[in-house]
Amino acid sequence: MTSTTIDNEATRLFAAQFGGEPDGVWSSPGRVNLIGEHTDYNDGFALPFAIDHRAVVAVRLRSDDRVAIVSTFDGEPVEADLASLDGSQISSWAAYVFGIVWALGEDHGRDRLTGFELALHSDVPVGAGLSSSASIECATALALDELWSLGASRASLVLAGQRAENTVVGAPTGIMDQTASLFGETDSAVFLDCRTQDAVPVPLGFAEAGLQVLVVDTRVSHDHATGGYASRREACERAAAALGVPALRDATLDDLQSALADGRLDDETFRRARHVVTEDDRVLATVRTLRESGARAIGELLDASHRSMRDDFEISVPEIDAAVDAMRGAGAVGARLTGGGFGGSAIGLLPVERVADATDAVRRAFADAGYTEPRIFTVSPSAGARRDG
């Protein structure tokens, strides 16, 4: 779907729901994380890229304090007064928009905010681990920053998105998804240092190398507001405390091994921490390899990342492992789980001429195992958040 079509859908919904034209249209993409999983909240490194699937918002300011929002995936409009958006947890998609309103109010003062109408359309698959929620937060944040004349930096909008997610959605996530969505560039990944928030574009050169990224959305649903994600984060924080470092970014493999040997870390916490420490190294190695040798040379790093998530961090599921194995068997340069895990998507970096075979191989593997039919599609590294009209 082209971005123009998406614009039209958001704008059409806007006209049907609210009448007339919006003040503007803004969009922000979902992301694939190439490598660097569960490193962001450990002050580490990640290498995501924005994808060619976007959330689009058509927005118009009102002269009162009423907020009215509607989306093409949930016909029912949701309304609230600005004063009621106090950071309480909300359980529908409205949390992404209302969470941003609350976070921007905290940052810039509630007297800077006025009511608005917003219509949303998105073609970022929901629940696929491709940051559909961050894309809504970032499109909304960019729109409101401009309409309310806040003059916020993109880096501060990343943090507003993270706080919306942590407080109003209730998911204890890091800054990777919002950074990819706001800082993505065409044909590049974002090399993110999560401690300094430095976000540097790294050219990927997939097209020149004859490669494509295949996404397998397993349709196994996951939820970062409950369960596994939070427990992994707690394990990492426990490990950092046991080692006496501010975050696992500051630990080495040797540190972990001595802490295991003298009982400061139990075996499970050691393996959780080992994933993070080795994953940080793999991100740095991937950036170096991309720069020095090109995309075909990063396959083993992607595979090693997957093994580490599967065996040490234990966030994969059988469907993801099946997708990874099938893509590798069909000639992928490398393949791995992408995103927070416990479901969602796997990616394969494939020679263009292997994409059709890999797609068939994944479909066959899922059918043979009796798994739900996956959604399989290619993605391209694309531009970040922008005003579209």
Please tell me whether residue 345 binds ligand GAF under the rule CB under 6 A. no
All residues at 6 or more sequence positions from 319 whose CB lies less than 8 Å from its CB, including other chains: 218, 220, 343, 366, 369, 371, 372, 374
Our CA angle for 31, 36, 37, nearest 5°, is: 80
User: Which residue in 176, 320, 330, 379 binds ligand GAF (CB under 6 A)?
Assistant: 176
Residue of 177, 217, 280, 312 with catalytic role:
177
Please tell me whether residue 174 binds ligand GAF under the rule CB under 6 A. yes
Contact between 251 and 240 under an 8 Å Cβ cutoff? The reply is yes
Contact between 283 and 314 under an 8 Å Cβ cutoff? The reply is no
Question: What is d(CA 321, CA 340) in angstroms, rounded to the nearest whole number?
Answer: 15
H or E stretch at 162: helix 154-163
The interface region with ligand GAF, picked from 114-122, 170-178, 258-266, 365-373 by CB under 6 A, is 170-178
Secondary-structure breakdown of the chain: helix, strand, coil percentages, each rounded to the nearest 5: 45, 20, 30
Please tell me whether residue 30 binds ligand GAF under the rule CB under 6 A. no
The interface region with ligand GAF, picked from 17-25, 30-38, 95-103, 360-368 by CB under 6 A, is 30-38
Please tell me whether residue 43 binds ligand GAF under the rule CB under 6 A. no
For residues 99 and 115, which CB has a smaller minimum distance to ligand GAF in the complex? 99
Min dist CB 215 to ligand GAF, Å, is 14
For residues 37 and 280, which CB has a smaller minimum distance to ligand GAF in the complex? 37
* Sign of CA pseudo-dihedral 263, 266, 270, 271: positive
Please tell me whether residue 299 binds ligand GAF under the rule CB under 6 A. no
The interface region with ligand GAF, picked from 50-58, 116-124, 173-181, 318-326 by CB under 6 A, is 173-181
Min dist CB 132 to ligand GAF, Å, is 11
For residues 9 and 280, which CB has a smaller minimum distance to ligand GAF in the complex? 280
User: Which residue in 3, 22, 30, 37 binds ligand GAF (CB under 6 A)?
Assistant: 37
Min dist CB 160 to ligand GAF, Å, is 14
Crossing angle of helices 355-369 and 318-329, rounded to 10°:
140
Q: CA separation (Å) from 178 to 74, 121, 137, 221, 223?
A: 23, 18, 8, 21, 17
Judge whether 177 counts as a catalytic residue. Answer: yes
All residues at 6 or more sequence positions from 363 whose CB lies less than 8 Å from its CB, including other chains: 373, 374, 376
User: 175 — alpha (psi -120 to 50), left (phi > 0) or beta?
Assistant: alpha
For residues 341 and 348, which CB has a smaller minimum distance to ligand GAF in the complex? 341
Min dist CB 159 to ligand GAF, Å, is 12
Min dist CB 31 to ligand GAF, Å, is 8
Active site residues: 177
